[in-house]
Structure 1
Amino acid sequence: MLNTPESRLSISKAALYPFNKITQGLIRFRDLLDFEIQNVIDFSISVGDDAGTIVTGKQSSIMISDSVKASLADVDTLILNDPGTVFAGNEATFEKFDLINKWRAMVLKANQMGVQVVSVHEIFDTDTLKWINESHAKIIIGKQMNENLLKALDVFDVPSRSYYDRVYEYINSFDTEKTLFTQTKIKKIAILSTRGCLGKYTTQMSLYRELTKRGKKVLPLITEPTAFLYKRDDADLPKFLAERSLQKYPYYINELVKKADKEQYEYVIFSGQGSIAPYKALWLDAMKLNLLQAFGADTTLLVAGYHDNDEIDASIQILRIYGGHQPSAILIPDKVETHYGSYEMKTAEQISKRKEELKQLFHIPNVELIHDITRITDIVL
């Protein structure tokens, strides 16, 4: 049985599953959570290791274990950062370690032990949904969508003619309707990237932490599915799509910004999902262009990789046309995922060479590692 909480979830001590990027992000920024991460469950990688040591280089006593019973013994919540189904890049791992069946057994064990099970993802897979119903498994879908803001979107009509006409009308109708948006005093920072899984979330939360330390009132619009764990309104696109159409997402982000402005936040940080570069999916590309205009960033930080110069160039051109400015800085990771759970660490020489290359190619003087974002924090103030 899938449930959506009627009020904010009560979590005191949690176990996380699995040791993926979402879990690693929660461990990295656990000081911003109001509950304790006790341990991590994983059946395929890093079993027996200290999760904090892997993520931050500092021991945390948050151990990675493949024992479900032991991991759940002293927690009130199991947080699922994986919906229990195969997705791009981890098919071989799922098959090798029988992860679908182990995920299901883990959920049932948690139910049996009286541990609440919370999924950060919407669950759409038909086989998984069928299993949940037949086994009477209890899973809470964690979300914090603002119903009042969702209702406010209903005034915006979505065109309904032929496919290409609708896309054309969507872009043009947005261009007209955006003049009706309330101008805000809040300073808006956008974090965008040339492709997915490069470190936008780490950039966003690191900047949020740093600005907060400087005494600024900052709201992160978290587009990862974990916003509810930070007691924030969801800006996660898949969760939004469970409530409204893709075309209305830019309007929703605008409503979140207006709400933050009314609540007298000084800064709002938005991290876009996926790539700013074209996907060749017409509706998605149209939505992304409108999103740039809806958010109206004052400052943009571009997260890039090591072999994506064409995508960087395309991203900069899109930002100039639809965002009205070029990136104030380019940020790069110190490691790149090669396949599920495995990373290539970049050497100091590789990092230095890439930074200089980006400065010369794109004439953007501020190029830093994501983990060194404090060096360029002043440019967003």
Structure 2
Amino acid sequence: METKLKIAIIDSGVYHAHKDFFETKIYEITPSGSPVKSNVRNGHGTAVYNIIRKECAKGCELINIRAVESQEVDVDVLIRALNLAIELEVKIINLSLGVTVCLDMENLREVCHRAYDNGIILISAFSNDGSMSFPAAFPEVIGVTSEESITKSNNFYYVEDNVINVVARGGIQRLAWNEPEYMFLGGNSFACAHVTAIISKLISRNTTVEEAHRMLQENAVKTIQLNYSDQKQNFIPIKRAAVFPFSKEIQGILAHQNLIDFEIDAVYDIKYSGRVGANVSQLMPYARIMMDYKIKNIRDIDFNNIDTMIIGHRDKLKNKVKKEDVFHDLAENCVKNQVQIFSLDDLDEYKISKGYVYTPAVLKKEVLPKRQGKLFRYNKPILGVFGTSSKQGKFTLQLLLREKIMKRGYSIGQLGTEPTAELFGFDYVFPIGYNSLVELQNEEAVQYINMQMQSICEKEPDIIIVGCQSGTVSYDYGNISFYLFQQYAFLVATQPDAVILCINYFDELEYIRRTVQFIESSSPSKVIAFVVFPVKLEKEIAGVYGKKTVISEDEFKQRKSIVEKVFGIRTFLLNQDIEEVVNHVIDFFCEEE
């Protein structure tokens, strides 16, 4: 004789005296397994229980586990309740609840995976606030959301996705409650209860989770296919590389060799550059060069000692070598010598064999399904580095913060916008800088960045650092190119808790004020520090692209005094004050806790 199908309902408990439950024996326990003693105060669990009681397959045994005493879900209590349900050998667990910010993701995911391994079908509702929530978003769980268009309790849509799986009836409906006895409400919680009842009629005790998904798809009113193909190329492993040409991006790599985990064998440039034969230390007198190199002619490259060729931006160099395609020859020889290529520019025109080249890019084909617009809320502290213009050392600051904070024993997650970011161990890159290869705009960009940030959160870093490109607020509005759409998308998508704003010595105070106000009004951020780039314009009429000279210590002190008096925000000098900046960041987040 087949045993009864057991369904655990983890919720706020049941109002036993409700008139709908006359002559109904209600089994209700706490997450520790002991009988419930106090009366239920929240009608939510009563409503969920009544839906499942009325609509589930005949003969099901319903076990109520009271794990919620208020509007908030305690994840520790939820984990205990899930463990109890597993011990009771239930077949279905209904979770018409969840959390949008989970501070114990690892243990919640682990217990859900354990239930999955035991053949238990977990069904959980997404948050009604429109965001992603857990455990519904876990792949081990059937995540349920709702739509007003579904008006019948036994109708539902199946979604081919590993996050949202079912769309069911969640519109306004008459529900059993406690005070008052009935309530007209809607929400994903009740859609979840309807789905639990539906599944109970489709499965048997031995049905696997995969079979349950197939049964849902076969019995759905319609199947929603989310068109998404994960075709993103994986970052290439590098052991020993050569770099070419001696450009700004390559200089950045050479200046921070201590932060890369591969060796640089040689530095190359074209003979027309005027740099062949010079030492890197001569051309970068202010940088901390770990190992000096004599720049060599790219035509004399030795492929024997390298596994990777790192190629910087090509456009400026192309003008100097119009009669010969150095890049075509280089790419061809890399393939011939089985040397992979890391290129900051697209090399599709050279038709390089697949697998030999990696270019930091975000393409249209990588856009994730919209999933009703649901986004993840982040559960880690986030520090943002933004600026008032380009050429301020923002990436240098991000690298210095990475180095110094990691030296103090903290783990870091990092999302950068410089195309070389992944070479320094950043988790992800969204390369919106010079010659950007990002094809996404507006909401697509926000959604993509949100997924990157969530992936970093799941790695459990102590802090996440994000860094943007160029300015933050448009300085002028006379040309469409002046509008900083990508920077705005990056700001609102990363949602930093604290921001370090890089400013120029010559920035107008009113423009700094506009930038601070924009950052703090566009996101839940607080600008906690200014970092001054230590140069001034020789001729202000030339603007930010004119010739610059290094400011003196007295000039910085004078500017610092003015800025701190006007804004009340601590002000530091790039490079020189990095330890103080790190102390300030740590103090801020410690105070927040």
Q: Does 1:194 align with 2:194?
A: no
SS in 2 for 1:248: helix
8 Å CA contact retained: 2:257, 2:289: no
Q: CA RMSD in A?
A: 3.8
Runs of 5+ unmatched residues, structure 1: 87-92, 124-128, 158-176
8 Å CA contact retained: 2:360, 2:437: no
Cα deviation, residue 5, structure 1 = 8.5
Aligned amino acid, residue 240 of structure 2: K
SS in 2 for 1:189: strand
Q: How many residues align?
A: 339
Corresponding position of 1:13: 240
Map 1:71-90 to 2 at 5 A.
Answer: 72=303, 74-82=305-313, 84-86=314-316
How far apart are the structure 2 equivalents of 1:227 and 1:105?
Answer: 27
Cα deviation, residue 217, structure 1 = 1.1
Corresponding position of 2:346: 122
Cα deviation, residue 239, structure 1 = 6.6
Aligned amino acid, residue 520 of structure 2: R
Structure 2 vs 1, CA of residues 311 and 81 (structure 1 numbering), >3 Å: closer, same or farther?
farther
Structure 2 vs 1, CA of residues 147 and 228 (structure 1 numbering), >3 Å: closer, same or farther?
farther
Cα deviation, residue 201, structure 1 = 0.7
8 Å CA contact retained: 1:194, 1:312: yes
Stretch of structure 1 that moved more, 353-362 or 305-314? 353-362
Cα deviation, residue 111, structure 1 = 4.4
Corresponding position of 2:574: 369
Corresponding position of 1:160: none
Structure showing the higher helix proportion among its residues: 1
| TM norm structure 2 | 0.50
How far apart are the structure 2 equivalents of 1:112 and 1:191?
Answer: 41
217, 236, 255: which is aligned to 2:431? 236
8 Å CA contact retained: 2:385, 2:502: yes
How far apart are the structure 2 equivalents of 1:198 and 1:146?
Answer: 28
Cα deviation, residue 246, structure 1 = 4.4
145, 152, 155: which is aligned to 2:370? 155
Higher-Rg structure is 2
SS in 2 for 1:327: strand
Q: Does 1:42 align with 2:288?
A: no
Structure 2 vs 1, CA of residues 347 and 20 (structure 1 numbering), >3 Å: closer, same or farther?
farther
Cα deviation, residue 376, structure 1 = 1.6
Map 1:220-299 to 2 at 5 A.
Answer: 220-231=414-425, 232-237=427-432, 241-242=438-439, 244-278=440-474, 280=477, 281=480, 285=484, 288-299=487-498
8 Å CA contact retained: 1:331, 1:369: yes
Structure number with higher relative contact order (C-alpha < 8 Å, ≥ 6 residues apart): 1
How far apart are the structure 2 equivalents of 1:46 and 1:350?
Answer: 34
Map 1:79-118 to 2 at 5 A.
Answer: 79-82=310-313, 84-86=314-316, 95=319, 101-118=325-342
SS in 1 for 2:409: coil
Q: Does 1:313 align with 2:535?
A: no
Aligned amino acid, residue 279 of structure 2: D
Runs of 5+ unmatched residues, structure 2: 1-230, 539-543, 587-593
Cα deviation, residue 193, structure 1 = 0.5
Structure 2 vs 1, CA of residues 358 and 122 (structure 1 numbering), >3 Å: closer, same or farther?
farther
| TM norm structure 1 | 0.74
Q: Does 1:213 align with 2:403?
A: no
Structure 2 vs 1, CA of residues 136 and 254 (structure 1 numbering), >3 Å: closer, same or farther?
closer
Structure 2 vs 1, CA of residues 42 and 355 (structure 1 numbering), >3 Å: closer, same or farther?
farther
Corresponding position of 1:51: 280
Structure 2 vs 1, CA of residues 295 and 114 (structure 1 numbering), >3 Å: closer, same or farther?
closer
Aligned amino acid, residue 241 of structure 1: V
Corresponding position of 2:257: 30
